[in-house]
């Protein structure tokens, strides 16, 4: 990214807390690829700012300095290359609205998507995660529903262009989330699961994928993370 754009990004980021809609409009005034690039750049600067005042969070990761250089996966909780491909997929499928299960420590995926989409909705159980994000939130184009994803299904009363399951990764929860929210996605919409390469007691996505009977597509640049998706109606 050229120096002028980097400088502009810093200016835009400083205004985030004041007027997030201004930032969103700025991002969406770009062509598709520069739009994604700009949203990622803003998110990564946000990650630097978060880490600058939350040193305790670095201690959760083995090699934070390298991670910071490599687009801060410990804050975004995504592999950058996978996230870029996923965002391109969403944009190419004309995604305007999305439901995400799980907001993560810093709501970073929600943050990026709130800049790119018309409306972003996330279900999150942990009230602390939600409280961290509230100062950055604009309810005109983003919604956060607090609660257990297996229990708040009745609060969803509209259809989405995409679903991203990235909450409790146990087999029981991933299976239930897929069952509960499948019908909340419009035909032709994207249904995706995160952390599909992890195996073990904590991670049930691989088993859910195997048992689903659907022909999943994979976005994977790592042995341990990965995104699987289907287009509803084409699976």
pLDDT at 64: 44
List Cβ neighbours of 49 (8 Å cut-off, separation of 6 or more). 13
The CA distance from 73 to 34, in Å, is 21
Sign, Cα dihedral of 179, 184, 189, 190: negative
The CA distance from 19 to 220, in Å, is 35
95, 83 Cβ separation under 8 angstroms: no
Average pLDDT (126-149) is 94
> In the β-sheet with 217-219, what is the strand arrangement from edge to edge?
142-146, 119-124, 97-101, 160-165, 185-194, 227-231, 217-219
- Calculate the average pLDDT of the chain: 85
pLDDT level of residue 93 (50, 70, 90 thresholds): very high
DSSP state of 226: -
Per domain, the residue ranges of the chain are 3-231
Judge whether residue 53 has pLDDT over 50. Answer: yes
Q: How are beta strands 217-219 and 185-194 bridged, if at all? A: unpaired
pLDDT level of residue 69 (50, 70, 90 thresholds): very low
Percent of the chain residues topping a pLDDT of 70: 83
Which class in CATH covers the domain with range 3-231? alpha beta
pLDDT at 59: 60
175, 138 Cβ separation under 8 angstroms: no
* pTM of the full structure: 0.86
CA nearest neighbour of 97 among 75, 114, 78, 85: 114
pLDDT level of residue 8 (50, 70, 90 thresholds): very low
pLDDT at 80: 83
């Amino acid at each position: 990214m050229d120096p002028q754009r980097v400088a502009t990004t810093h200016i835009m980021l400083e205004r985030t807390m004041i007027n997030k809609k201004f930032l969103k409009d700025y991002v969406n005034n770009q062509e598709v690829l520069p739009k994604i690039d700009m949203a990622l750049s803003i998110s990564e600067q946000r990650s630097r700012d978060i880490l600058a005042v939350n040193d305790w969070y670095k201690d959760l990761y083995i090699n934070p300095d390298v991670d910071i250089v490599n687009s801060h996966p410990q804050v975004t909780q995504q592999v950058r290359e996978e996230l870029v491909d996923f965002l391109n997929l969403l944009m190419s499928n004309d995604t305007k609205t999305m439901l995400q299960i799980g907001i993560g420590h810093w709501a970073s995926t929600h943050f990026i998507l709130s800049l790119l989409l018309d409306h972003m909705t996330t279900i999150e159980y942990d009230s602390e995660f939600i409280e961290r994000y509230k100062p950055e939130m604009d309810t005109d184009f983003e919604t956060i529903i607090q609660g257990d994803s297996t229990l708040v299904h009745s609060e969803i009363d509209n259809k989405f262009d995409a679903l991203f399951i990235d909450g409790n990764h146990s087999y029981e929860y991933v299976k239930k989330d897929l069952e509960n929210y499948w019908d909340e996605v419009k035909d032709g919409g994207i249904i995706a699961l995160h952390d599909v390469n992890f195996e073990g007691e904590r991670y049930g996505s691989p088993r859910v994928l195997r048992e689903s009977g659907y022909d999943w597509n994979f976005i994977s640049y790592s042995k341990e993370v990965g995104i699987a998706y289907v287009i509803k109606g084409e699976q």
